[in-house]
Amino acid sequence: MSLTNAFETETLEWLFTTTTVTRPTAWFTALYTVAPTDSGGGTEVSGGGYTRVSTALSVSGDTATNGSALEWDTATGTWGVVTSIGVFDASTGGNLIAYGNLTDSKNITIGDVFRISAGNLDITLD
């Protein structure tokens, strides 16, 4: 996963200036049918029972990862082909912090449950 431009800037400001940076205090993972970019955008899934999932991350070395599985509610409508994910600082709206493409895209239809196993969402600083 990659940090968005906005959060790359905030990270650099925190490290190398005395600028006050407000850090997120909650994280939510979103699903996308069209990938976002460094500047945001993309097409987040909507409707059909979809909501972002609260996400707890732990950090070891240069990687933040999910310590427990992330599981979305059962789809009550077709979500489309999920290709990417994003981590936000709010359950709706908010700021996209990091994003990445899935190794394998997944078509979500009525009755499907999308799940990311523990340890499979990694945000790495290189």
67 three-state secondary structure: coil
- What per-residue confidence (pLDDT) applies to 45? 98
pLDDT tens digits, 73-104:
999 999 999 999 999 999 999 999 999 999 99
- By DSSP bridging, strand 70-71 and strand 122-124 are unpaired
- What per-residue confidence (pLDDT) applies to 2? 85
Range of the domain at 33: 2-17+26-124
The C-alpha atoms of residue 90 and residue 55 are separated, in whole angstroms, by 11
* Number of structural domains in the chain: 1
The helix (run of H) or strand (run of E) holding residue 10 is helix 5-16
